[in-house]
Amino acid sequence: MELTQITPFVPCTSLAVQIGFYRDVLGFVLGYQAEGYAFLHRDKVAVRLVQVSDSVDLQNPERQGSFYIDVKALDALYDSLKPALDALPSGRVRAPFDQPYGQREFHVADEDCTLVFFGETVRA
Terminus-to-terminus CA distance in the chain, angstroms? 32
User: What average pLDDT score do residues 107-123 get?
Assistant: 92
Instruction: Look at residue 84 and give its three-state secondary structure.
Output: helix
Does 4 reside within a domain? Answer: no
Q: Which domain holds residue 33?
A: 9-54+63-121
Q: Specify the CATH number for the domain of residue 93.
A: 3.10.180.10
Does 1 reside within a domain? Answer: no
Does 3 reside within a domain? Answer: no
Give me the chain's average pLDDT, please. Answer: 91
Tell me what pLDDT residue 33 has: 97
In the sheet with 115-121, reading across from the earlier edge strand, the strands are: 66-70, 115-121, 103-109, 93-98
Quote the CA–CA distance of 33 and 63 in Å, as a whole number. Answer: 24
pLDDT band at 94 (very low <50, low <70, confident <90, very high): very high
Does 109 reside within a domain? Answer: yes
Domains in the chain: how many in total? 1
108: β partners: 93, 116
Instruction: Look at residue 99 and give its three-state secondary structure.
Output: coil
